[in-house]
Chains A and B, each alone.
Chain A
């Protein structure tokens, strides 16, 4: 028995618009990407090989699933022509099919199965043709049955089309609520109905109400209420006194303080209502903190504190800089280039010097320990073009993290909060801890974080 999974891009085009940061076939249902549910079912049915076909590019899937060795099956990929039918697909994959019976799963739909039941013998004995179907999706079997018809053991199998946020929400909740007994779900440790990933920090005063699924690298701060029926992705911070109930929080999302997320899907800085399809953006920092707490901390005290601290650093580091910089420059160990980065106010960019410091010899190493590669940027703090500590400056050609105009949750700094916290600063992850500090930072806490960044950065550099 082998399996072909056939998808057409228009079936999941809706997901691209709403969840732009993840490929639809990798969209998490509960805490597992969609494609893995189909691979599990293919294995349950006794498949030794699976081929994924699509009429568009499936590069992200190839990089995620690779050759299938992780599931002990042979996984291959191919393309699909617009007017292909089940029958022409078999022709186009004749070498893959060989003489085996083939199960063709087509359409972007959620398969409702139960891993405890025996689909293998059923799949082997059913006549050729359609096994299950739903609008826009079907499971068909090709070729003659391999075994005599099994007794009519009830092995329910049904399909649910994933045609929009509402069906995606229902499917995710179904996967969560039926939990580990029906589907193979990672992270389901001791307690049923509660899956928790790695590196999850839960405050003592946080409450977890099952069923709940929490990903990796997540922080649940004081007095948060998670659940019931809450799906939290990876690289997520749920700030103090917020509650997440009957909701999905996708990867790389920051939920602010005292917020109520009920019956919603939060993804990046968008909050979506799966029923009405309405969505609002959450990158407006004050919106991330409840309105009761007065949000009138004006920017002035922070800018002054940053400028003073920058002045101190400029003078303290002046001597080592004036000594090391010429030597490094002459030795060719100091290469700098100008790069354009987004400035704090949307639409504008600032050009920053990016220094490539070769730290292989003693001089270079000391310069890098003293963060001298960012010495020139300190002067930009005096003119308030940069904060002393803030977000990692983002190159101008990459899309602005908060595409809509009112990008108040991004403030480029000489040092970044991610460096201070040594949060895994890869793309989306850094943004999360930075958004958290942008909402919480006051002048005093910022200075503390500058020291932390200054100390942690060399450590991070040497290990990088």
Chain B
């Protein structure tokens, strides 16, 4: 899982690329490495354009990452969900927990805009 750091208008934003399957086998490692990324920046984008399967443990891991990020006043925003992965989020209403963007660019630049306190999630 590649993780790069971008600087968007002075904001340090982490971009993580998820690939292939995210299921019981590799959901624990994701949560562990996410904590290291969190040390660098609480604002993270999960680029899921190469992610083609997710089951409940994968979903649980991503929600876990979000919870950790929120504890550090950060956020996890998702980008490039394909139809199948999107369906899992819609079915379990998990999509209500995340801001979801078409691609990593939009997701990253959404961090640059100061979140208007009124509409904070």
Contact = CB atoms under 8 A, between A and B. Distances in A.
A227 B84 CA distance: 24
Nearest to B24: A406
7 contacts: A264-B87, A280-B87, A286-B56, A291-B92, A291-B94, A295-B60, A406-B24
B19 interface: no
Contacts of A258: 92-93
B56 A291 contact: yes
Contacts of B92: 258-260, 287, 290-291
Main secondary structure of the interface of B (DSSP, over half): helix
Given A278-B83, A287-B92, 5 more contacts: A258-B93, A260-B92, A273-B87, A280-B88, A285-B56
A239 to B, nearest CB: 13
Nearest to B95: A260
Contacts of A286: 56-57, 60
Contact of A261 (B59, B88, B91): B91
A284 interface: yes
Interface in A238-265: 258-262, 264
A334 B93 CA distance: 53
A280 B56 contact: no
B59 A262 contact: no
B31 to A, nearest CB: 13
A170 to B, nearest CB: 19
A276 interface: yes
A271 interface: yes
B17 interface: no
Interface of A: 258-262, 264, 271, 273, 276, 278-280, 282, 284-287, 290-292, 295, 406
Given A291-B63, A406-B23, A260 B83 contact: no
Nearest to B60: A291
A291 B56 CA distance: 8
A280 B63 contact: no
B66 to A, nearest CB: 11
B6 interface: no
Nearest to A280: B87
A267 to B, nearest CB: 14
Nearest to B91: A259
B84 A278 contact: yes
The SS class assigned to the A binding surface is: loop
Contacts of B88: 280, 287
A229 B91 CA distance: 18
A144 B4 CA distance: 77
A291 B27 CA distance: 14
B55 interface: yes
Nearest to B53: A280
A290 B93 contact: yes
B106 interface: no
Given A258-B93, A259-B93, A271 B87 contact: yes
Query: Counting chain A CB atoms within 10 Å of each CB, which of B24, B56, B84, B94 scores highest?
Result: B56
Contacts of A278: 82-84, 87
B84 A280 contact: yes
Contacts of A290: 92-94
A287 B93 contact: no
Interface in B50-71: 55-57, 59-60, 63
A301 B97 CA distance: 31
A287 B57 CA distance: 9
Contacts of A280: 84, 87-88, 91
A276 B83 CA distance: 8
A280 B55 CA distance: 9
Given A287-B59, A295-B60, A262 B83 contact: no
B63 A287 contact: no
Contacts of A291: 56, 59-60, 63, 92, 94
Nearest to A276: B83
A262 B87 CA distance: 10
A295 B94 CA distance: 14
Q: Chain B CB within 10 Å — which of A279, A280, A286, A406 has the most?
A: A280
A138 B60 CA distance: 51
A295 B63 CA distance: 13
Contacts of B56: 284-287, 291, 295
A278 B92 CA distance: 16
Question: What 8 A-B pairs come out closest when comparing CB atoms?
Answer: A286-B56, A278-B83, A287-B56, A276-B83, A278-B84, A284-B55, A280-B87, A284-B56
Most buried by A among B24, B55, B87, B91: B91
Contacts of B57: 286
